[in-house]
Amino acid sequence: MASGINMEEERRKGDPDKASSGTGLSERQLDESGRVAKEAAETFRASTQVARGQVEALTRTLDAMAKESAPDRLVEHVLRTITEQLRAHSSSIWLRDENTGLVRFEFAFEGGRLITGADAALASISLPLRIDEVRPWPEVFRTGKARVLEDIREGPAFPWREHLLSLGVVTKLMAPMLIAGDVVGVAGIRFTRKCSLRAEDVELAQALAHQAMLACQLGRLSRQSRQAAVIAERNRLARDIHDTLAQGFTGVIVQLEAVEEAMSRGRPAQATESLIRAGALARESLREARRSVRALRPRGLEEDDLCEALQGLIRRVTASTGIQAQFHVRGQPPELPDEWEDNVLRIVQEALTNVLRHARAHRFEARLAFGEKEICLRLKDDGQGFDPAARHEGFGLRGIQERVETMGGRFAIQSANGQGATISIVLAFPQARVGL
C-alpha cells in the first residue's frame, strides 16, 4: 500500500501538468483559467462601457427631442453627444443622394457650434463628392462597417483633408449611417491625436451614428411637414381669394347684365338700382379680398352670427337675378370653431356663384340643420344640372370638397343633365362636444 502511494507521488512529480495544490488543477490550468477570467472581465467591462455610453447618449437625444422643435438643433445635440462621448475633436454628417449617388456634406460640429455647407469657410469645398473620392468611404459604403483612418497625413490626398489638417485632426473614424440595412451616409468622428481605437469605441460610434441618422430623418420629416403646411396654407389662400374676387366679380357681372337688360327695356330706375348693387358688391369684394389675404375672418361673421351671415349673403347675391332663394334653419345653432363658420359661409357662397354662372336656375334653396352630434348643410337648385363624374374646369367644386375635408366632414353631390343639383354636407361635432 505504501509503495503504491509513493509511485503516485512520483508520477505527479514527473508530470508538472498534473501537479496541484490540492485543488485537482495544474498550474497551467490555473493560469489558463485566470487568463480566461481576465478576458471575460475585460469583455464585460467593454460591453458595459458601450451600453452605458449608448444609454447616456440616447437619454440626451430623447431630452433634446422633447425640448427642441428646430430640426437642426436636434442634429446639433446628437453631434455634440457623439463628440463628447468619444472624447473627439469634432464630428460631421455626410448623406448620399439616392438619385445621383453623390455624397453631400450636411452638418459638422466644430468649435462648439453646428456648421453647415452654407458656412463661408466651407462654401468652396462642400460640393457633393463621389464615394471613391474620400478615404475610407468606399469600404464603409460597401461593407456597412466602420473604418478608421489612423493618420490622414499619410497616403494619397482626398477632398477635405486640408480642412481637417487645419483643425489639427490626425485620426478619423467613419461610421455608416443606415436605413433598413442600406448605407445612406456616414458619420465622421475626428481626433487630434493619433490613436488606435478600441473595438468598444468603434461599436459606440456605430450606435451613435444610428442616433445621428434618426435626427436627420426627423429633420427631413419636419421639413416635409413644413412644406405640406405651406402648400395647405397656399391652397387655403387660393380658395379664399377665389371665393372673394371670383365670386364677387360674378355678382357684379350679374348686376351689370341686369343693368343692360333694364336699359334695353327702357327702365332707367331699375338699371340705376342694379348699378348701385354692383358697386356695393364690388366694394365688399375688395374688402373681403384684403381680409382673406391677411387670413382674417369674413367680415360678415364679425358683425353677425353664422345664420345671419348666410341669410344676408343669399339675399345680396341673388338680388335682381330672378332667382327665388330660400334659407331654412332647423335646430339650435351651437358655438362652432371660427374655421368651420368661415368654411360654411364660403361653401354657400361658392354654390351660389356656380348657380348664377352655370345653372340657369330659377330656384335656390339652402337648408342648415343642427343636431346633437352633427351639422347637415343641403344646397339645392333647379338648374340645368351636370354630370358629377365628368371632369370640370375651374376651382369651385374642388374648393368646396377641400373645405369639407379640412373639417373632417362628408361631401356628396347629386346631379344629372336637366335635373338640377343638390350638394349635401355632413359635419360631425368634435367628440368633446357630444360627450364621447
**Phi/psi of residue 424, nearest 5 degrees:** -120, 130
Domain ranges of the chain: 31-224, 305-436
Say if residues 187 and 208 touch (Cβ distance below 8 Å). Answer: yes
Q: Would you say residue 386 has pLDDT above 50?
A: yes
Helix (H, G, I), strand (E, B) or coil at 325: strand
Beta-bridge partner residues of 189: 91, 173
**pLDDT at res. 379:** 94
**pLDDT at res. 127:** 81
**pLDDT at res. 303:** 59
Q: Would you say residue 244 has pLDDT above 50?
A: yes
Q: Would you say residue 264 has pLDDT above 80?
A: yes
**pLDDT at res. 418:** 87
Q: What is the pLDDT of residues 191-242, one digit of tens each?
A: 999 888 888 788 888 888 887 887 787 777 766 766 776 677 667 666 666 6
Q: What is the pLDDT of residues 127-167, one digit of tens each?
A: 889 999 988 899 999 999 999 999 999 988 888 899 999 99
DSSP state string for 211-254:
HHHHHHHHHHHHHHHHHHHHHHHHHHHHHHHIIIIIHHHHHHHH
For residues 62 and 65, what is the distance between their CA atoms, to the nearest angstrom? 5
**pLDDT at res. 4:** 45
Burial readout 132-165 (b: 16 or more C-beta within 10 A, e: otherwise): eebbbbeebbeeeebbbbeebeeeeebebbebbe
**pLDDT at res. 391:** 65
- Contacts (Cβ under 8 Å, ≥6 apart) of 125: 159, 160, 163
Least confident of 58-67, 328-337, 342-351: 58-67
Q: Would you say residue 310 has pLDDT above 70?
A: yes
31-224 and 305-436 share one fold: no
The one-character DSSP state at 123 is T
Angle, CA of 180, 184 and 185, to the nearest 5°:
135
Helices (H), ranges, 68-95: 71-85
Q: Would you say residue 102 has pLDDT above 60?
A: yes
Mean pLDDT (the chain, rounded)? 78
Least confident of 70-84, 176-190, 366-380: 70-84
For residues 325 and 319, what is the distance between their CA atoms, to the nearest angstrom? 9
Mean pLDDT of the 370-397 span: 82
- The domain made up of 305-436 is a member of CATH 3.30.565.10: yes
For residues 242 and 341, what is the distance between their CA atoms, to the nearest angstrom? 17
| Segment of 38-52, 163-177, 278-292 carrying the highest mean pLDDT | 163-177
- Look at the domain 31-224 and name its fold: Beta-Lactamase (3.30.450)
Q: What is the pLDDT of residues 31-66, one digit of tens each?
A: 666 666 666 666 666 566 656 665 666 566 555 555
